[in-house]
A and B are shown apart, each in its own frame.
Chain A
Amino acid sequence: MHIPDSFIPIGQAAVYWLIALVFIALALRWVRREMSDEKVPLLAVLAAGVFALQAFNIPVTMGTSGHLVGGALVAIVLGSPFAAVFVLSLVLIVQGVLFGDGGLTTMGANIVNMGVIGGFVGYYSYQGLMGLTKSMLASAAGAAWLACFIPALAAAVELAFAGTFPFGPGLVSMGIYHALIGVIEAGITAVVIKLIATARPDILDSSAGVPA
């Protein structure tokens, strides 16, 4: 779902960047409030983990690549959408700036899609689904699917605005494709949460994700 550089004109890219920066600032505030100074590196290493997971790239049509996003996973484990914003921003920055993999001008849009939209959709749908089903696995899976599908739609809308792709067909193809990939992301997220719950429940126990 990463949008590469040439697909969005500079003017619009700047707008997305602004939105992204606002959310990053909010996320930073959350981090400062919820996590003691020395625990902050935890977020960085989680970003490294997400980076490693995203390194499994599945090439896709429409010029963007499909793979695990991890937004819902981070939001659920750490207990806040802002965690996802923060961690995914780090991942995108490292990917784009350090490894030259992923757009620089479009990073703002990508952060908005995967970090902000993905994080918030993932977190709140998890809460909502938990209220309905009481099953951690099912809620995590559902949340992860939505956190993959909805941002893809957002990306399609952005690309349409940019004039790179027409609205209708873009929406349909991105939608269908990510609806399918979303199933994989849902499955993997559920299994990972289960693994953490059994092997390292202390990670989930810590409120707001801050270890004791």
Chain B
Amino acid sequence: MFEQLLEDIAQTNALREVNTSLKLAAGLGALLLSLVSTGYVAPLFIAIVVSGAILLLARIDPYTYGELFVAPVSFALLSVAAIVLISGGSDALWSWQPLPWLSFSITIESINQGLFIFCRTLGGMSALLFIALTTPMTDLFVVMRQCRLPEVLVELVTIVYRTIFILLDQLVQCYHAQVMRLGYSTRRESIRSLATLCGVVFIASWNAGEDLIRARDLRCYDGKLVVLGAVRPVELRPALAVAGFLIVSSILVVLTGKITIISGIP
């Protein structure tokens, strides 16, 4: 499970001390710009710069980053392949029709479209990973409160966060117990074991809820949650870096909107 890994990395990364809102602004800004762009250049630029920031500034281990990136990139490649083969277009460079209702073709548009989506995915993924890798959850809670999000929501989210790790622990233990008793030896057994596992986790989470209610009552719960201070000041250099990055990216979005990898019909 990546969750614990991400959280551990976030707690110890080199950009930990940078103001949380700044990091969020960088990440969300990068994400939005990637999405708004109509050409492939800007998202690609964003992906490269953000990945660079993750590897060089936050000093995240490249292997770890690669690991985290592998799954989404493979999805992206698969879907891009699908887009390239299925989208169609006016000028087919290659086509194949194995069945009357099933036809594949590679066209200029589909290649452009595929590349565009791929770069957009890279930009978005790297932006999200930037946030996940440089901002520990506990800091995010502080920001959520600062944004005046409803208390109820922040409270619920903290409960989910707190409970997840307990449940994941239990889930893993239960899974191991099942494996030790050959619960996954045959296909039929596996499905049964998996279903039981899900049931156990579901019930465990219900129990956790009842425990939580009791634990709060024990300590005279009155609807209040503890405010956690620790807001780091915004420093000039990081602020300038983020602002510069966002401005350059925005300019690219505007200027390179029409560029495609294979020109011809845009």
Contacts and interface: CB of A to CB of B under 8 A. Distances in A.
Interface stretch (B59-67, B177-185, B202-210, B257-265): B202-210
Interface stretch (A54-62, A117-125, A126-134, A148-156): A54-62
A82 to B, nearest CB: 15
Contacts of B198: 53, 68, 188, 191-192
B1 to A, nearest CB: 6
B32 A10 contact: yes
Interface stretch (B90-98, B124-132, B230-238, B244-252): B124-132
Nearest to B124: A5
Contacts of A51: 160, 164, 167
A59 B74 contact: yes
B202 A192 contact: yes
A169 B121 contact: no
B137 interface: yes
Interface in A156-212: 164-166, 169, 173, 184, 187-188, 190-192, 194-196, 199-200, 203, 211
B57 to A, nearest CB: 17
B199 A105 contact: no
A165 B83 contact: yes
Contacts of B32: 10, 105
Given A41-B156, A100-B132, A61 B140 contact: no
> Chain B CB within 10 Å — which of A10, A38, A40, A52 has the most?
A52
A93 B161 CA distance: 11
Contact of B209 (A13, A44, A68): A44
Contact of B164 (A42, A48, A73, A211): A48
B72 interface: yes
A46 B209 contact: yes
A196 B203 contact: yes
Given A52-B171, A191-B195, A93 B79 contact: no
A38 B210 contact: no
Which of under 10, 10 to 19, 20 to 34, or 35 or more describes the interface residues of A? 35 or more
Contacts of B87: 166
Nearest to A193: B199
Interface SS, A side = helix
Contacts of A43: 156, 209
B175 to A, nearest CB: 10
> Chain A CB within 10 Å — which of B78, B209, B216, B221 has the most?
B209
B82 interface: yes
Interface string B112-130: 0000010011011100110
A124 to B, nearest CB: 21
> Chain B CB within 10 Å — which of A28, A169, A211 has the most?
A169
A187 B191 contact: yes
Contacts of B223: 37
Contact of A93 (B31, B80, B157): B157
A165 B82 contact: yes
A6 B124 contact: yes
Contacts of A64: 75, 79
A49 B112 CA distance: 42
B232 to A, nearest CB: 19
A22 interface: no
A98 B157 contact: yes
A103 B194 CA distance: 27
Given A4-B121, A39-B213, A53-B198, A63 B163 contact: no
A9 interface: yes
A64 B131 CA distance: 21
A164 B201 CA distance: 36
A54 to B, nearest CB: 10
B20 interface: no
Nearest to B133: A100
25 contacts: A4-B72, A4-B75, A5-B128, A6-B35, A10-B32, A41-B216, A43-B156, A45-B160, A45-B208, A46-B202, A46-B205, A46-B209, A49-B201, A49-B202, A51-B167, A55-B1, A60-B75, A98-B140, A99-B3, A166-B87, A173-B82, A187-B191, A191-B196, A196-B199, A200-B206
